[in-house]
Amino acid sequence: MLKVENVTKYYGDFLAVDNLSFLVKPGEIFGLLGVNGAGKTTTFRMIMGLLDCSEGKITLDNKPIDYSVTDKIGFLTEERSLLTKLTVRQQAIFYGRLKGMNEKDILKRLDELLEKFGVLEYKDKKIKELSKGNQQKIQFILAIINKPKLLILDEPFSGLDPFNVELFKNEITEMSKEGSMIIFSSHRMEHVELFCKKLAIIMKGKTVLSGDLKEIKEQYRKKNIFVKGDLTKKDLLDIDGVIDVVEHADEYEVKIENIDVSQRVFKEVSKHKNIMKFVVEEPSLNEIFIAKVGESYDK
């Protein structure tokens, strides 16, 4: 298990990470979310032992993370850091050896992964000859070449097209099923929502929300109702407890204060003709994120 306990990081006088704590168990995918400058990369660097914590403690299976466990860890850095003059095969051998693998196993695993990601033909190409997206795939492949027990992914989806986001997500999910602990950062809530069960939202280095995604959504009082039919925006806005009504192409999204208001909305909607849709939904993670980040800006 990865334990981050009361970790604080100062750069000089500047407090970049403020008393952060979380746990990641085998098989869990944990999302560390936050706006630019929130402290995500700093946290990852401390986990990797590339930066010292000013206060607090980080352990993997109750031991400090140091050189002796690098073979169990994979890290995709935010700034892409490939040696661009080397070929993909040469890079893989270089990285794999750093992780304590022998050349035969490295090349076998490399072929499997290149095939899976549809880039087998680039094996003997230099990194600098590849497109940005393909370079990112190679960097991801290298981060997982040793089937790491702990995989840290700093903004893994940035610059990827939707098809490749899907490929990455599938691989990450598969690794978690095999027992890996995975932590990743992202600004893209729709990516997080689909496959991450636990998360923390940080803001100026401080946790503003953390826990199980399902519980976070249930506990968030505001809900949305999607309504389609012969009624006007005003009909909906006039209902007590309705905060806002957003008009989409052919339906309304009614934002309500809490679940009890849905009864009143239903009563009003039932008075109208041709109602084709009435669905109460949890808010999206994006909506919760924006609300939480907004609240902490206001403080």
Would you say 155 or 235 has its CB closer to ligand ATP? 155
Is 14 near ligand ATP (CB under 6 A)?
Answer: yes
Is 159 near ligand ATP (CB under 6 A)?
Answer: no
Q: Which two tokens stand for residue 23?
A: 């746990």
Smallest gap from Cβ 288 to ligand ATP, in A, equals: 18
Would you say 38 or 227 has its CB closer to ligand ATP? 38
What is the three-class DSSP state of 63?
A: strand
Smallest gap from Cβ 44 to ligand ATP, in A, equals: 8
Is 38 near ligand ATP (CB under 6 A)?
Answer: yes
Is 191 near ligand ATP (CB under 6 A)?
Answer: no
Would you say 32 or 113 has its CB closer to ligand ATP? 32
Is 11 near ligand ATP (CB under 6 A)?
Answer: yes
- Asked whether 105 and 96 are in contact (CB, 8 A), the reply is yes
Is 39 near ligand ATP (CB under 6 A)?
Answer: yes
Q: Which two tokens stand for residue 77?
A: 């850095």
What is the three-class DSSP state of 278?
A: strand
Smallest gap from Cβ 11 to ligand ATP, in A, equals: 3
- Asked whether 22 and 4 are in contact (CB, 8 A), the reply is yes
User: What is the rounded distance in angstroms from the CA atom of residue 158 to the CA atom of residue 165?
Assistant: 9
Would you say 34 or 74 has its CB closer to ligand ATP? 34
Which residues from 49-78 bind ligand ATP, rule CB under 6 A? 78
Smallest gap from Cβ 251 to ligand ATP, in A, equals: 34
Q: Is 39 left (phi over 0), alpha (psi -120 to 50) or beta?
A: left
Would you say 119 or 200 has its CB closer to ligand ATP? 200
Position among 20, 22, 33, 34 found at the interface with ligand ATP (CB under 6 A): 34
φ/ψ of residue 82, rounded to 5: -95, 155
Length reported for the chain? 299
Smallest gap from Cβ 65 to ligand ATP, in A, equals: 18
Smallest gap from Cβ 48 to ligand ATP, in A, equals: 13
In angstroms, the Cα distances linking 181 to 2, 130, 227 are 8, 30, 40
Span interacting with ligand ATP, options 33-41, 93-101, 112-120, 277-285, rule CB under 6 A = 33-41
CB contact set of 293 (below 8 Å; sequence gap of 6+): 34, 35, 201, 203, 208
For ligand ATP, how many residues bind (rule: CB under 6 A)?
12
User: What is the rounded distance in angstroms from the CA atom of residue 94 to the CA atom of residue 107?
Assistant: 11
Is 156 near ligand ATP (CB under 6 A)?
Answer: no
Q: Write out the DSSP string of 140-169.
A: HHHHTTT--SEEEEESTTTT--HHHHHHHH
Give me the residues that bind ligand ATP (CB under 6 A), please: 11, 14, 16, 34, 36-42, 78
